[in-house]
Amino acid sequence: MAAGFLLLFVFGPDRVGSIPASEAPAPSQTPLAVLDDGATQLALTHLQDVSPATYSGLEAAAVRAIADGADAQKLSRLVLEALFSQFQSQALTLRSANSDDYQTIIAGLATGLRSLKSNESPWCEGTMIADFLTQNDDELVPALLDEFTYMSPQYEWAMGWMATILTAIETGRNISQPHARPNFRDEAVLQQEGLALGSEQWALALQIAAFANAEGTSYAQMREVIAGMDVCDLGIAVETVSGRLPSDVKERIWGDLMPEIMVGNTPYVIWRVTDYFFIG
């Protein structure tokens, strides 16, 4: 489940409403003003606040790209790469975000997954994720970026969700105090909520149980289990369980997990998720 959830952090929905123009700042007078839609400009404003160096590098790259005849689509790809780079470079700051910001990040992901689900997207099928797990970064990254064509609903969703993540990073900087490590009580509360959800959704519970039984066995068996999952249902379940947690528990759980997800520390995430949700 954790491996699929990690990859879903860079997928958007098939259809998501765009950010209203009134919520986005006016385009700045830079080469990036070519991308004058509100969603991009909002994300760029947050990027400039969080990482001025990354923003400056992006501007310089845009100048070179425009000189070489780049269109809006090529420029938008540079923006996506700059934004996605913040997953790793700012991950540790997310240890200090607050409960509301954590839940907003998860809710944004769930919004996209619900749209995928309603459109019967193949991205909900575990076989898609299992296939992606076999690819190296040289194959995977271009394929992921191809999902976000400029001005498409997927692209608008990605811009809005990245703005949400960058907002949480800003909060983490202002707090600048990582949350304590999750304790036994936190794990017990999380397990209780997970079991409650499992009793409501038996098909979901069986998928999670299958993963728990396969974890630590062979790669082939793990891949087979992942292929049989509905990753959209799993991602939506994460939002549901997270939303039921007390604020302090949520902060310690996500303060532990989210930075590791962002840097791609899949073995640790798998170990912790299994430890959180399963007893004995």
pLDDT at 65 over 90: yes
pLDDT at 210 over 50: yes
- Give the list of residues 6+ apart from residue 227 with CB closer than 8 angstroms, or none: 125, 126, 127, 129, 130
What gap in Å lies between CA 52 and CA 271, rounded to an integer? 35
What gap in Å lies between CA 39 and CA 134, rounded to an integer? 33
Nearest partner of 12 among 86, 94, 121, judged by Cα: 121
**Least confident range of 5-14, 123-132, 252-261:** 5-14
More confident of the two residues 31 and 242: 242
Predicted pLDDT of residue 278: 54
Section 171-191 average pLDDT = 90
**Least confident range of 1-15, 137-151, 186-200, 224-238:** 1-15
- Give the list of residues 6+ apart from residue 180 with CB closer than 8 angstroms, or none: 252
Query: Where does the pLDDT of residue 277 fall: very low under 50, low under 70, confident under 90, or very high at 90 and above?
Result: low
pLDDT digits (tens, 9 = 90+) for 130-169: 777 666 666 666 777 777 889 988 889 889 999 999 999 9
Among residues of the chain, what percentage have pLDDT more than 90?
Answer: 40
**Least confident range of 55-59, 202-206, 241-245:** 202-206
**Least confident range of 76-90, 111-125, 171-185:** 111-125
Nearest partner of 97 among 236, 261, 212, judged by Cα: 261
* Domain ranges for the chain: 2-277
Q: Residues 261, 266, 271, 275: is their CA dihedral positive or negative?
A: positive
pLDDT digits (tens, 9 = 90+) for 213-222: 666 666 666 6
Predicted pLDDT of residue 252: 95
Predicted pLDDT of residue 209: 67
